[in-house]
Amino acid sequence: MTQPFEHFKPVDLDHASRLLNHGPTVLVTSAHAGRRNIMAAAWSMPVEFTPPRIAIVIDKNTLSRELIAASGVFGICLPGAAAADLAYAVGTSSGREGDKFSRFSLVSVPGRQTGVPLVADGCVAWLECRLIPERHTEHAYDTCFAEVVAAAADDRVFSSGHWSFREDNADLHTLHHLGAGNFARASAMIKAKPLP
């Protein structure tokens, strides 16, 4: 049996934005006072390089927002293509109806910097984030800002600060939500050549 995060290596914070800049679907993890949750989100992006900061849309009425507001921290886990069913399941069920970690038998470990649960099942990268309170944007636009304080990725698909999507690691390619349970897989990388 493989260990959770067996292939994961720390990602230099200078490269943390590269984990999100191609727009993958992410799983947001949160915990506070004995409660925990996981949800899917399609809208996240880097907004600053140094220190690395991100923006993510999380509806104000969700359990995740409640837990994040109370704890001030959250995790972002990037599911690989093999975890499409999981991403859809946690994105279409509510944590208010029961613990989704238990319901879907998810293995997680606490983040070293924040203690948030980080999901090993089918995920290829994670970021530990500290909320940057911006009450207006949180309330008006459901947009939360955070500083990335730690990151790691599966070295079979992300190493030396770059993604490597190949045919032999297709199950590790990130997902992109198209709506109604449909996802596209990141693949067929193209290397740009300088124009004359």
- Counting the structural domains of the chain, the total is 1
Q: Which two tokens stand for residue 48?
A: 């600053």
- The CA–CA distances, whole Å, from 48 to 11, 45, 60, 112, 183 equal 16, 9, 23, 23, 27
The rounded Cα 70 to chain-centroid distance in angstroms is 20
Q: Say if CB 155 and CB 9 are below 8 A apart.
A: yes
Q: What is the pLDDT of residue 85?
A: 96
Nearest alpha-carbon partner for 25 in 73, 101, 77: 77
Q: What is the pLDDT of residue 122?
A: 92
Tens-binned pLDDT, residue by residue, of the chain (196 aa) = 356 678 999 999 999 999 999 999 999 999 999 999 999 999 999 999 999 999 999 999 999 999 999 999 999 999 999 999 999 999 999 999 999 999 999 999 999 999 999 998 899 999 999 999 999 999 999 999 999 999 999 999 999 999 999 999 999 999 999 999 999 999 877 888 999 9
In a domain, 190, yes or no: no
CATH of the domain at 71: 2.30.110.10
Q: Which residues of 17-42 are buried (b: 16+ CB within 10 A; e: fewer)?
A: bbbbeeebbbbbbbbbeeebbbbbbb
Euclidean distance between CA atoms 190 and 148, whole angstroms: 28
In a domain, 20, yes or no: yes
Q: Which two tokens stand for residue 47?
A: 């907004």
**Structural domain that includes position 63:** 8-185
Q: Say if CB 136 and CB 124 are below 8 A apart.
A: no
Sign of CA dihedral 104, 18, 63, 178: negative
Q: What is the pLDDT of residue 1?
A: 38
In a domain, 48, yes or no: yes
**The pTM is what?**
0.94
Give the bridge partners for 39, in sequence order. Answer: 28
In a domain, 194, yes or no: no
- The CA–CA distances, whole Å, from 122 to 26, 27, 107, 186, 191 equal 12, 11, 10, 15, 27
